[in-house]
């Protein structure tokens, strides 16, 4: 009994190693960011550039993953758009909340993970109209947080309100932990969360400008409910 258990484990390990070689899966631990938390923030009002991310229909090796929580509430959504293998025309999904009667809209972690990147210092000219303040700050994502979920899988929470981000690089998150508040920073037309599911072969460098994912996927594929 024990022997067959070991045998199964060793077969799985071998398959994982082969996949890692074939697909370039990151050969690193999921708690890297907890072990390497400093520097915690990249905070500047400088504008930045980041290449448009490539759309994909699945993770390399058809790696399975699912979201445990929907990252925010909304009054309407704007869907992910992109053709696999080409630069995405909309790299994530938008949760738009344009009702001023709700002054604070929390943004929460979609699944268990560790905070990999935190960008703050991006201003907004208003909450519910075309942002005219440093639209390219944070490479257009404005204030944003990236959470690492292991196996190269990340989520990005963008356009967060100034002063609302309390998450720090290395923070361990469970689904539902607050990342920040919905805002209108960066390339944004009204208060909304731009939410991305991405894959990256390498670690994010927390002290550097915003980094693109190698691949972005439609977040709605990983939700247990249809929005
Ligand atoms: Zn968006």
CB-based burial, 134-172: b 16+ in 10 Å, e otherwise:
bbbbbbbbbbbbbbbbbbbbbbbbbbbbbebbebbbbbe
pLDDT at 98 over 80: yes
Phi and psi dihedrals of 143, rounded to 5?
-65, 125
User: CA 70: distance to chain centroid?
Assistant: 13
The CA 17 to ligand 1 mean position distance, Å, reads 35
Measure 210 CA to ligand 1 centroid, in angstroms.
16
Q: Report CA(141)–ligand 1 centroid distance (Å).
A: 9
Ligand 1 geometric centre to CA of 216 (Å): 12
Q: What percent of the chain has pLDDT over 70?
A: 84
Give the CATH architecture of domain 27-222. Distorted Sandwich (2.70)
Q: What's the gap in Å between 136 CA and the centre of ligand 1?
A: 14
Residue range 139-191, pLDDT digits in tens: 999 999 999 999 999 999 999 999 999 888 999 999 999 999 999 999 999 99
Output 56 or 29, whichever has higher pLDDT.
56
DSSP-derived letter for residue 19 is H
Q: 170 C-alpha vs ligand 1 centroid, how far in Å? A: 26
Q: How far is the CA of 27 from the centre of ligand 1 (A)?
A: 30
Instruction: Please give all residues whose CB falls under 5 A of ion ligand 1, grouped by chain where several chains appear.
Output: 94, 194
C-alpha 209 – ligand 1 centre gap (Å): 19
Burial class of residue 68, CB neighbours in 10 A (0-12, 13-18, 19+): middle
Tokens 């989520």, residue located? 155
| Mean pLDDT, range 66-83, rounded to an integer | 97
Instruction: Measure 63 CA to ligand 1 centroid, in angstroms.
Output: 24
The residue with greater pLDDT, 138 or 46, is 138
CA dist 223 and 46 (Å) reads 35
Residue 48 pLDDT greater than 90, yes or no = no
Distance from residue 5's CA to the centre of ligand 1 (Å): 46
CA of 167 to the centre of ligand 1 (A): 21
DSSP at 51: P
Distance 150 CA to ligand 1 centre (A): 24
- Range with the poorest average pLDDT among 106-115, 195-204, 206-215: 206-215
Domain positions in the chain are: 27-222
Higher pLDDT, 192 or 227: 192
Tokens of 198: 């991405």
**Rounded distance from Cα 51 to ligand 1 centre (Å):** 15
CB 183, CB 161: distance < 8 Å: yes
């Amino acid at each position: 009994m024990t022997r067959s258990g070991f045998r199964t484990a060793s077969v799985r390990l071998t398959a994982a190693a082969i996949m890692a070689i074939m697909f370039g899966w990151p050969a690193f631990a999921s708690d890297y960011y907890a072990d390497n938390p400093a520097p915690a923030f990249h905070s500047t009002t400088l504008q930045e550039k980041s290449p448009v991310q490539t759309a994909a229909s699945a993770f390399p090796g058809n790696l399975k993953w699912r979201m445990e929580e929907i990252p925010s509430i909304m009054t309407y959504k704007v869907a992910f758009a992109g053709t696999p293998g080409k630069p995405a025309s909309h790299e994530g999904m938008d949760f738009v909340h344009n009702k001023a009667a709700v002054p604070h809209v929390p943004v929460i972690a979609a699944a268990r993970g560790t905070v990999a990147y935190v960008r703050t210092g991006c201003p907004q000219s208003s909450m519910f109209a075309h942002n005219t303040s440093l639209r390219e700050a944070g490479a257009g994502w404005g204030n944003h947080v990236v959470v690492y979920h292991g196996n190269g899988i990340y989520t990005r929470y963008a356009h967060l309100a100034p002063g609302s981000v309390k998450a720090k690089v290395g923070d361990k998150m469970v689904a539902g932990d607050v990342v920040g508040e919905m805002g209108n920073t960066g390339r944004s037309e009204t208060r909304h969360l731009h939410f991305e599911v991405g894959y990256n072969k390498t670690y994010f460098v927390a002290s550097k400008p915003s980094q693109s994912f190698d691949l972005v996927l439609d977040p709605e594929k990983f939700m247990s409910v249809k929005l």
